[in-house]
Amino acid sequence: MNQDVFQEAFNRISARRLKAKAENEQRNQEIDSKIPEIAEINYQLAQTASRILMGEDIEILKRQNLQAQRYCAQLLENHGYPADYLDMHYTCPKCQDTGYYGNDYCTCLKQMISSVNIENMNRNSRLKLCEFSQFSLEYYRNIILKETDSNNIEHEIDCYPVMERILQYCKQYAANFSLHSPSLLFYGRSGVGKTHLSLSIVSEVLKSGHEVIYDSICDLLNRIENEHFNQKFSGTDTLTAILNAELLVLDDLGTEFQTNYTLSVIYNIINTRLNHKLPTIITANMGNKALAETYDPRIVSRLFAVYKPLKFVGKDIRRMKMQ
């Protein structure tokens, strides 16, 4: 494991412990001044250790202490405080915010290590987060595209209502995101807002406290390959993080340099996450035909049947903005 990542995670857990302690002391001071009787009892309780040393009966002291504690809880409630007001309130009661449980790392520390890992990965991502508020439907207004379907019949597509529905869907998806959310496939020509909307979803889902990994497929594959073939690499395990993240956004499927190795990694990611029912959003600058020519039919059929495919339409907004 990467030492820096571990240290950062451990520091954050330690900070929780210090905070719990400081808050507990504050509550104690407050009660000391408001309910002097409790202050007196606490003073007596603090003498227990020395009374044991003086030879007093431990069993009797134990019983007295228990009674005193119950009496304190009663006093607190009589004064309108919760009975556990003076207890320590740890974020993780299991390990009392030490990060260790038995001889092992506590789940809270493991969780924190994975969060720090993911934060680092996302910080290195070339993609920058977007917001729904910066997404304008005006770019799709009065844009009518002609398309021929698989039966060679020509259709006209009014882009505005199509994209209005997609925007609405994405906002709902982000607001209601859970581990049961479906996986999405954003496809269509380049520059029509696929990356923008997927990263707007990421912004919202991150705000609700979920673990999200987002990056272009090229950069992720590079990183996985480096770690795979270079034992001395930093020690972070990108593939494991990708397979387990609560939401994964793979941007620009189809732009990667394809080898047997990259293809097998992509299949592994898509299959494993589907098996674990973890939501994934994939964007691709190509249609179903091109995807079918590039990838194994089993994968393409999953992308179109198990993922929810959303076809983005419009003109290249990058170019419209430049003009």
Q: Is 108 in the site for Zn ion (CB under 5 A)?
A: yes
Question: CB-hemisphere CA count at 13 Å for 282?
Answer: 27
Q: Which does 191 bind (CB under 5 to 8 A by kind): ligand ADP, Zn ion, Mg ion, none?
A: ligand ADP
Beta strand spans in the chain (E):
100-101, 104-105, 144-148, 154-158, 184-187, 212-216, 247-253, 280-284, 308-311
Position 194 contacts ligand ADP (CB under 6 A): yes
Among 195, 198, 200, 238, binds Mg ion (CB under 5 A): 195
DSSP string, 180-200: TPPPEEEESSTTSSHHHHHHH
Single-letter amino acid code for the residue at 288: N
73 touches Zn ion by CB under 5 A: no
Q: Are strands 144-148 and 247-253 parallel, antiparallel or unpaired?
A: unpaired
Pairing mode, if any, of strands 100-101 and 104-105? Answer: antiparallel
Stretch that binds Mg ion, among 26-34, 117-125, 162-170, 191-199 (CB under 5 A): 191-199
The SS3 of residue 89 is coil
Residue 176 CA from chain centroid, whole number: 14
When computed from its CA atoms, the radius of gyration of the chain, rounded to whole angstroms, is 28
9 touching Zn ion, by CB under 5 A: no
The distance of closest approach from Cβ of residue 98 to Zn ion in the complex, given in angstroms and rounded to an integer, is 7
- Work out how close the CB of 104 gets to ligand ADP at its nearest, in angstroms, rounded to a whole number: 43
Pick the piece of the chain touching ligand ADP (CB under 6 A) from 7-15, 116-124, 184-192, 286-294. 184-192
Return the number of the residue (190 or 234) whose C-beta is nearest Mg ion: 190
Residue 186 contacts residue 282 (beta carbons within 8 Å)? yes
Candidate residues 16, 196, 273, 302; the one interacting with ligand ADP per rule CB under 6 A: 196
**CB 130 to ligand ADP: min, Å:** 6
Contacts to Zn ion by CB under 5 A: 92, 94-95, 106, 108
Contacts to ligand ADP by CB under 6 A: 134-136, 139, 190-196, 283, 285, 317-318
